[in-house]
Amino acid sequence: MKILVTGAAGFIGFHVSKILLQNQHQVVGIDNINDYYDIELKYARLAELGIVKKEAKVFNNPSKGVHEFKFIRMSIEDRLLLPELFANEQFDIVCNLAAQAGVRYSLENPEAYIDSNIVGFLNILECCRHHQIKHLVYASSSSVYGLNKKIPFETSDVVDHPISLYAASKKSNELMAHTYSHLYNIPTTGLRFFTVYGPWGRPDMAMFLFTDAMLKGRPIKVFNNGDMERDFTYIDDIVQGVVRILEKKTESNTAAPYKIYNIGNNNSVKLMKFIEAIEHKLGIKANKQLLPMQPGDVVKTWANVEGLIKDYGYSPNTPIEAGISAFIDWYKDYYRV
């Protein structure tokens, strides 16, 4: 198939693109390469896909054994260039992983979330509508559950009380997708990602922050005095689920071919256990700076992924110790520590 992956220079987008290419799909990746975090890390990911950093906006290089990969530097909120891309490329499937990420950053720069996550997502939906896209798979987030007390989180839970603008934007995406599925019979699948970690991860995520600080002899910031739990999910498990959804033929014979799934590890890990596993791998005792809860944050997340297991045979099976070991090995190699 010919598949558009938005956010292809991002953490999850890069890994999804890599597996799709290995599976012999034709992949077009777009990303605006913004400076929310180190752009050199984004270019390094693209280099792994055979793309050499240049000043030009379009890069073609089906090297390094990949099937065919084209990369275009573009923002999904661009109302002129995005429709042109769809018209020129004639995609079968769209995987929308482009978004302004980060709960805490949404408190500082709310406009970025409206531009990318609302305006940009509307543009994606409009392009899918006008270009006969067979299936739109898009990133939602576990943050939509807000202060949900029921554990584990299930897609049937009420998610009407987001506690950050990031969460509100992701809930908005789900509502917008439902509308387009209903009005235009576009198959859409939203994936509520839980805490994803692994090689090539984002520098603003806990795994990266803790490893970086500990190797440099700095204290790590531990919020809510460490009384936190997360459904930490290794990147390979996440990508397995995303790719299975992209590759499965959709059924568009319902009134609104709209689906929402949790995608996580089907488990919850105490933050202190997570830190202990990092300490064990590094052979370094962390200097923990215990801090109060951050605005927009939640104490515990835990995904019920039975829907994905039933419909797609999803099977997250990477132990936290193995995932942490793989990340730290990558980190030391990438930064030559």
pLDDT tens digits, the chain, 337 residues: what are they? 999 999 999 999 999 999 999 999 999 999 999 999 999 999 999 999 988 766 445 555 544 444 679 999 999 999 999 999 999 999 999 999 999 988 788 888 999 999 999 999 999 999 999 999 999 999 999 999 998 889 999 999 999 999 999 999 999 999 999 999 999 999 999 999 999 999 999 999 999 999 999 999 999 999 998 899 999 999 999 999 999 999 997 655 455 599 999 999 988 999 999 999 999 999 999 999 999 988 878 889 889 999 999 999 999 999 999 999 999 999 999 999 8
pLDDT of residue 148: 87
147/33 Cα distance (integer angstroms):
32
pLDDT of residue 63: 47
Whether residue 166 lies in the annotated active site:
yes
Residue ranges of E strands in 125-248:
135-141, 188-193, 195-197, 220-223, 229-230, 232-234
Among the listed residues 105, 113, 166, 258, the single catalytic one is 166
Tell me which DSSP letter residue 266 carries: S
182/32 Cα distance (integer angstroms):
30
Q: At 159, which amino acid appears?
A: V
Cβ contacts of 189 within 8 Å, gap of 6 or more: 135, 136, 137, 138, 245, 258, 259, 260, 261
Among residues 52, 59, 91, the alpha carbon closest in space to that of 73 is found at 59
pTM attached to this predicted model: 0.93
Length of the chain, please? 337
